[in-house]
Every structure is written in C-alpha cells, then in structure tokens.
Structure 1
C-alpha cells in the first residue's frame, strides 16, 4: 500500500513538472541571465536594444530603469521623464540622444503579446556604461617644506569615468616613478600612486 502511494505521488510530481515546463515554453519567458553591456561617451548617443523577433500591433512594450527603485522609461506608448525630449523608440529599442552620466545603469524591456498558447511574455536587460572625460583636477601642493621632513602632494578628479591615472611633473619634466632615475630627485626621494594621484616626497637633511 505504501509503495502504491509513493508511486502515485511520484507520477503526480512528474506530471506537474511536465506541465510547468510546457507552460514556461508556451509563455516564452526569457532567461533573466540574458543581458548585455553597452558603452557610450557622455553627450553622444546610444541605442538600448531590446532583442525580440518582431513587433506587432497588439504587442505591449515597457522600458524600465532598475536601481534602488524602478522608474519608467517607456510606458503606455510614450517616453517618460528625462527621456521624453531626448530619446526615440525604434521598434522595441530606444535611441538616447545626448547621453549623460546620470543615464548609466541597468535597464529592462518587457514585452507581452497574444499567441495561440496564451499571452506571450519576454524581457531583456541591458547595462549602460557612460564614459566621462576627466576634469581639471584639484590639487593640494604645499608652497614650502623643511629639510628632513615628508610632505604629500595630492591631485584628485571626481568626474572621470573610468577613474583617471595621474602623472607628476617637476620643473616641466615628467617624473618616472623611480626616484633613482630622476635627475630632479636630488637630495630627496618619493613614492607616487598613479591611481589616487598622491605623491609623497621626503627631503633629506643636509649637513
């Protein structure tokens, strides 16, 4: 009796699994892992592509920007918010003009369309990365230093993306990063970080 019960339970589970797989296939859900990355230069244009075979009259499209909260980009057949005046719809894709750094982030398009099996649902995600040119860095350079002391010179730019690297010059000549090779490093030594923009210099005490 126990074996028959287990056998019936196993058959029910198998039937449920088959139905679930058929439903998933019929409704056309896309793999949530299927996404791509698009890179754009600030103030130029970019196309966020939504991969879907064909647009029909009965297709319903929504574009959303994901993050801490979800905001609509395209909803009820109209572009929304900041995209209203500088974007256009091309089939299911969106062409953004004059891209800004605030546009960077993850987007998702959602499409629903009727089919013989019922409502066909699909979605696609795309990540937009915006390259931003570095600005003139703000620098902190002491006007003088005592012999035998260590001072830190620092430059920083908060706008560039990706983060810029820094090069230091002394009297118009580039520092190589190796004090032993620099003629400008007489009576002093230094360490340089091209990532953070800092230059730590130690002045030797003269007898």
Structure 2
C-alpha cells in the first residue's frame, strides 16, 4: 500500500482529488490555466466554496466556482463541481449523481468525482466519466476503512493533452497529515486543499501564501 504523499509527489497533475479516511477527508484542486489557478477555498455555513482570488482575472466561472463540500443532514458531501448542490437538493447521493454527467470541457471531458461520508463511518465514492460518447457512472461503497488508511480518487491519471481520465477503482493509501499532503502537491499546479480531521477543518490556499 502506497503513501498518498508519495503518489502525489510522483504525479504533477492529478487534477482534483478526494480522499476519505477513518478520521479525515481531504479534497484538493489544481490548475494549469490562469482561470483555474485564480481560486481560494473559503468556509461557508455548511461547508466550503471556491472563490476567485482576483475577481478581475475571472474569465469563466462555470466549472471552477462551486461548493466542493456541503453537509446533507449528518452526512458530508464532497465533490469536484456543482453536483454537490444537486446531491444535497435531491437529498440522495445516488440520485444526485445519476442526474449528472461528466463536465462539458471537450476534449478532456473532465469526470465528476463525488463522495458521501455517513456518520456511522460508511461512505461512497463515485465517478461520472466520458466513454465512447456516453456517460459511465461508477459507484464504490465502503463499510469503513482501517485507521491511518483511506481511499483516493482523482479526476486525471496525470498530465497530458487531452488529460487522461482516472481509471480503475479508488486507490487504498496510507494517509499522511494534511501538511504533508499540501507539501506533496506539485508546487506550480496546486491551488487549494481542504482538510477535515475529526471534524476540525483546515484550509490551505496557495494564493494566500500557504
């Protein structure tokens, strides 16, 4: 089993990533364009949202401004797009994901990755991806995970043109502390990291000097 930090150090561009462990949740965003890099995480009443660091540089908010994390009752929903709102508004993780598809950003067709963490420690991960002109919706349900371990899923396998979509099942990894995850992300491409450890939230924002 690999350490998450080692995986991230070896991959300059996994894109956006979700990690769910026994006592923690991590969500990070990266960017290659000025528009994607011009973001910060800010806290909201029920989670976090992305916000333009410099509003004057915001070109197209459609796929980069959203609520990555929101509470849904006692559960926590984490996603890489505005499907967070769909899931919470529908009130069902599965139904919300079934109502959406991959992002319309050809030729990358960025997948939508999502997670729900239940108060009993069970959780689900999902990926909605482009395949042969259709949307393939994959779901992975877990009854929990051992202490110090977690499941990791990202939007991309790595850098490229077009960007290669994540393939296979979420990866079981050893989980380092949040500071090490932040340090392991590529210095040029990382933008922000959300860390929720035993309910204590810490935000890391490159544009704010973290």
TM-score by length of 2: 0.22
Q: Which has more radius of gyration? A: 1
TM-score by length of 1: 0.23
Q: Which has the higher contact order (CA 8 A, sep 6+)?
A: 2
